Structure 1
Amino acid sequence: MPLVRRTVLALPALLATPALAQGTDPRLGERGIGKPDAPVTVTEFFSLTCSHCAAFHRDIFPKVKAELVDKGAIRMVWRDFPLDQLALAAACVARNLPPERYEGFIGALLSNQDRWAFTRGDPREELAKMAALAGMSRAKYDEAIGDEALKRAILAERLTAEKQYNVSATPSFSFKGRGAPVNQSGNMAFERFQQLVEEAKRG
């Protein structure tokens, strides 16, 4: 999915003041599944309002999880790369949930994208309903989407991804095994995903 220009234009203003330090706020810690010592780590850069990210999660990720994560071949790590203000708000909500609820929540958001992100009503109200189903109170939800420091921290990580991994679209993946990381943008078939895992494993 192409970058949304209004978000790019908003970045300087949102990053004008210091962001949270990743090492001091547990909400900014790594979110992932799979064995920490798996031979390959796959990092997905995703936006919760990206239809291509939703398609990957719906059509490809279940097999990735069953065939690669659960069998110890890879560790899957998620990195926020919000493309618009709504995706940024959703990322803040997800980061405010306990780490053990993170995968289930982003999975629910991606699987039900039409229900909240593209609703005819107020998407933030629909997001609040999704957060409530995950056990978040309305007061905590309001606090999460109003947390400017957390927003700046997430956007700072997005800028890092742009510079370090040359991410310019979502979903994007970085496959890190024995050698240098191999980066791939766009949704892909499971067979291509598995091929990149094997290449990263061999180094």
Structure 2
Amino acid sequence: MNRIVPVIVVVLAIVAGGAWWFTQGDEAPAPGQTQTEQTADDGAGAAESGVTEMVMGSPDAPITLIEYASFTCPHCANFHEAVLKPLKADYVDTGKVKVIFRDVYFDKIGLWASMVARCGGEERFWGMTDLLMKGQRSWTQSGDPVTIAGELNKVGRLAGLGDDQLKACMKDEDKAKSLVAWSEANMTKHEITGTPSLIINGEKYSNQSYADLKKVLDAKLGG
């Protein structure tokens, strides 16, 4: 589990730098995919902040699972592959669970990735998240901001976003600051100290295997 460190001030200081790095690449675009749903906010201040909650599943699902995750957290990438995929098939698609993704920012790279993931709106968010989590090692491995920005641009294009759209998203400093403030408020409310962390119908759980998560969900469903 990745541990939270106080990076909020640092992140705010580098938002404009991120916008500059993101205007530099010119790789060729590629076709995209994806799907998402949004329901009402049940967390800290999304409506007031203007941040859109990214929600997957039926608004009437009896269980709400909030996932706190970072796009630069290896444990979160593993969670999306090993846990979220079967969870979607077994519980989300069957109307039992709705999943809310809550961003956590350890560094500027995580913020950039979040802004790219959100750039296509609700319709593309979950597909973008799949691409970013699955390819996390590839786009983060260089450690160089310019190279990483170029790799994130590629991910955006794979999801069907154009250069102008990506640049506009990354130049939106007000949105970046809102995301950071919203994330900090949510983490404070739920006392989040590491990622991934789960809030299931108001109760906090640490990262766990799908088998263990199934036991928690089935117990809450009365199974």
* TM-score between both structures, scaled by the size of structure 2: 0.77
Structure 1 residues 195, 117: CA separation in 2 closer, same or farther (over 3 Å shift)? same
Q: Quick check: 105-114 or 141-150, which moved more?
A: 141-150
| Compared CA separation, residues 50 and 10, structure 1 to 2 (3 A) | same
1:75 is matched with 98
Which structure carries more relative contact order (alpha carbon 8 Å, separation 6+)? Answer: 2
- How far the C-alpha of 1:145 sits from its partner, in A, is 2.0
Task: Describe the superposition over 1:61-97 as per-residue Cα deviations: whole angstroms up to 9, x where unpaired.
Answer: 1111111111111001111112110110111122221
Contact in 2 for aligned 1:90/1:145 (Cα 8 Å): no
Is the contact made by 1:167 and 1:185 (CA closer than 8 Å) also made in structure 2? no
Partner of 2:153: 128
- Counterpart-to-counterpart distance in 1, 2:52 and 2:204: 22
1:183 equivalenced with 2:204 (yes/no): yes
Contact 2:104/2:183 (8 A) holds in 1: yes
Distance 1:164 1:78 in 2: 15
Q: CA separation in 2, counterparts of 1:57 and 1:22?
A: 23
Report deviation, 1:154: 0.9
Q: After the TM superposition, which residues 53-132 of structure 1 pair with which residues of structure 2 at under 5 Å, given as runs?
A: 53-119=76-142, 122-132=147-157
Q: Percent identity?
A: 26
Find the partner of 1:23 among 18, 26, 47.
Answer: 47
Q: Does 1:47 align with 2:67?
A: no
Answer yes or no: is the 8 Å Cα contact 2:139–2:151 preserved in 1: yes
Q: What is the Cα deviation at residue 23 of structure 1?
A: 3.3
Paired residue total: 190
Q: Is the 8 A contact 1:38 1:73 kept in 2?
A: yes
- For the residue of structure 1 that corresponds to 2:3, the secondary structure is coil
Q: Tell me by how many angstroms 1:190 deviates.
A: 0.9
The alpha carbon displacement at 1:8 in A equals 4.1
Task: Compute the displacement of 1:98 (Å).
Answer: 2.7
What is aligned with 1:144? 169
Unaligned runs of 5+ in 1: 16-20
Output the CA distance in 2 between the equivalents of 1:44 and 1:112. 19
